[in-house]
Chains A and B, each alone.
Chain A
């Protein structure tokens, strides 16, 4: 199984949608690639992904995350990397936002749209968050 994901948003819920699916797929022996673009880049930004915002009006779910023992986003990202999930940061967004590769977590690739498309062209599952 091959899973291609586009992460284009930076809320805390978005992070869990992306990384839960990605780690579950990788743990099920799937080849997984995520393309982080626009706000999605925050999910792999060294600092930003430690403090992602909850959608307005849902702050009270904070408690629920704790109760359900959901790991912090940071931990999930590390797990995804351990499981061999390929993470591609969008070069064009990085240029627009003046971001450098060093500001992101270790082990990511930087690439353009075609880098992702080449990975995704024979994927079994394609998701956009």
Chain B
């Protein structure tokens, strides 16, 4: 999986995986994703709780033989604010209705690849916000574009950016994947 940093905490007992994670996390920039490899069976519950207490985002865990690979994203307090500047917004219920309808719609998921891997709306296209500048041409300007992230904050920035680039039919989906209750696809 595409991550910004890999931490090897294999063979370490509690509380070492947490202590190491805490240290490594300080070297990450906000929004970046870290993979923590551990063999301590308690580390799944511990890292989940740690992320919750420290305001970071626990994405999920993949078992690879004896090794547990945990994915954490360094969250920022700003993105919890849900401050939307892009005027055209659509809520999750309306998005669900549109997906169920006949009309063809495009969903753009601007979260990090690891976040996308642990659960996204079926058919959603993944271009992380940080890559949008150089990849926006992969999208069709005439499509009705529904942009989603976790809380509505990154997708708001993406909607503004694409509007600047000349996209005419861009909608920000609020609040985002953290409250999505519809179908999910996973690819990890």
Contact = CB atoms under 8 A, between A and B. Distances in A.
A27 B12 contact: no
A27 to B, nearest CB: 4
Contacts of A20: 14-15
A29 B15 contact: no
A79 B11 CA distance: 18
B22 interface: yes
Contacts of B18: 24, 27-28
Contacts of A27: 15, 18-19, 21-22, 50
Chain A, interface SS category: loop
A77 to B, nearest CB: 13
A71 B16 contact: yes
Given A23-B19, A79-B19, A83-B19, A28 B54 contact: yes
Size bracket, chain B contacts: 10 to 19
Contact of B12 (A24, A28, A69, A83): A69
Contact of B13 (A29, A68, A83): A68
Given A28-B50, A28-B53, A29-B53, A23 B13 contact: no
A7 B13 CA distance: 22
A28 B22 CA distance: 7
A69 B54 contact: no
Interface residues of A, number: 13
Interface in B15-31: 15-16, 18-19, 21-22
Contacts of A79: 19
A70 interface: yes
B41 to A, nearest CB: 11
A71 B11 CA distance: 11
B19 A70 contact: no
B11 to A, nearest CB: 5
A1 B19 contact: no
A83 B53 CA distance: 17
A27 B43 CA distance: 14
Contacts of B54: 28-29
Given A28-B22, A69-B12, 19 more contacts: A1-B53, A23-B15, A23-B19, A24-B14, A24-B18, A27-B18, A27-B22, A27-B50, A28-B18, A28-B50, A28-B53, A28-B54, A29-B54, A68-B13, A69-B11, A70-B13, A71-B13, A71-B16, A83-B19
11 contacts: A1-B53, A27-B18, A27-B21, A28-B22, A28-B50, A28-B54, A29-B54, A68-B13, A70-B13, A71-B13, A79-B19
Interface of B: 11-16, 18-19, 21-22, 46, 50, 53-54
The 8 residue pairs across chains A and B that have the minimum distance between CB atoms: A24-B15, A27-B22, A68-B13, A27-B19, A28-B53, A70-B13, A27-B18, A69-B11
